[in-house]
Structures are given as structure tokens and as C-alpha cells.
Structure 1
């Protein structure tokens, strides 16, 4: 039927431009979405990398600080323990040798003794 064929031809010709615009819009949107996702992914990765760098730097500084404090505590405690054992050992050796120095009475006791002697 020529009337249906002509109507179909007119419909296809008339709808070609809107369909072409629609397909162009779909392709453009898909390309922009891919580019946008790539750009957004890059931004997210960059921000995440900077955040990770900050966290790692803070952890490094914290570990250095804790390590320094623990090293200082170790040196101080080991020095005190060595001093304590050395002084105990020295006192023990003096007791064994019998050369433990006699403690002199305090000055107030001497003045009391002088007063009693007179």
C-alpha cells in the first residue's frame, strides 16, 4: 500500500533527527560519565593518598616519641638499679672486711654530751 509506505517513510525521516540527537546525547553522556568517573576516582585517590600520608607521618612521629621516652626510662632505671646494686655490694664488702665506717653522732648530741660532762 503506497499510503502506508509513504507514511512510514515520512515517520522514519522525521524521527531520524530526534533519534540522532538522542543517540548523540547518550554517547556524550556515557563518555562524560566515564571521564567524570575517572576524574572523580583520581580526586578520591589523591585525597585518600594525602590522608594516608598524614596518618603515616603522625604514626611515625608518635612512634619516635614513644621510643624516645622508653629509651630514656630504660637508661634512667638501669642507671638507678646499677647504682643501687653497686652501693649494696660496696656496703656488703665493707661489712665483710670489718671496715664499715663508724657513724659520727650528730652535732646536737655532742653539745648535749659536753653539757653533761661539765
Structure 2
């Protein structure tokens, strides 16, 4: 039973090998100088194969490290930009609230001064109010007189 099983396995292997070698790209690669040299020197071929196999892990780890670093730097950049935007929005909000508070206080002070000064002027100079109302009446009469013409 063993010999027939190994023969079947050998036939399967040779069929698969023939399929691979019948590919035009593989056929072109097999005709290259490097592959021709490695076919003639199996010890060098083994060393190259061993080097490629052993170099795959460090190269893979380095590529993984590079990808993780790039992803983390992009994510941290986004978080940092978000934090800076948050700080800017909070600062802008504080400044605008301060400007609003200042404008309310300043307009209140101006209104208080206006009321106080007008009441003081009305108390000490009541005749100014009479002159003002007469001027208003005169200008109103002129306006109605001009509008009727």
C-alpha cells in the first residue's frame, strides 16, 4: 500500500509542478541568470532561501511597526487638532461672553448717566425744556407747512 500511495503523491506533485512551470511568467523567470545560477549551486540557493525565510519576520515586524506608527500619528493628529479646536471654541466663547457683558454694563452706565444728567438739567434749568418744546413745535409747524405746499 505504501508504494502506490507514494507514487500517487509523486504523480500529483509532478502534475502540479508541470502546471506551475507551464505558466509563461514562471517559465521566463526560470530562464533568468539568477535562477540558472541557483539551479547550478544548491548550497547558495539554500542560503538564499534560508535568508529570505529568516528575513521575513523582521521585515514583517518593521512593516507592522511602521503601519502602527503611521496610524497612531494620524489618530493623535486628529485628537490634537480636535483638542486645539475645542480650546479655540472655549476661548472664543469666553471672549464673546466678556464682550457681551462689557457692552451691557457700558450701555447701562451710559443710560444711567443720561438719565441722571437729564434729570439734573431739568431740575436746575427747567426753562431749557420749554425752549426745546417750542423749537420742536416750530420745526413741526414748518414740516407740516412744507408738506402741504
**TM-score for the superposition, normalised by structure 1:** 0.64
How much does 1:13 deviate? 1.2
Structure 2: tracts of 5 or more residues without a match: 1-36, 131-149
Matched residue, 1:25:
65
- Equivalent pairs, count: 90
Structure 1 gaps, min length 5:
91-118
Match of 1:68 in 2: 108
Indicate the structure whose relative CO is greater, using CA pairs within 8 Å and at least 6 residues apart. Answer: 1
Give the superposed CA RMSD: 2.2
For residue 67 of structure 1, report the CA deviation from its aligned partner: 0.8
Q: Shift of the alpha carbon at 1:84? A: 3.9
1:85 shift after superposition: 3.7
Q: 2:91 aligns with which of 44, 48, 51?
A: 51
CA spacing shift, 1:16–1:89, aligned 2, 3 Å: closer
| Other-structure match for 1:35 | 75
Instruction: State the 1:52 CA deviation.
Output: 1.6
What whole-Å deviation, never above 9, does each CA across 1:19-70 have from its counterpart, x for those lacking one?
0000011101111111111112112211221122112111111111011001
Q: List 4+ stretches of structure 1 deviating above 4 A.
A: 87-90
User: What secondary structure is seen at the aligned counterpart in 2 of 1:6?
Assistant: helix
Aligned partner of 1:77 in structure 2 is 117
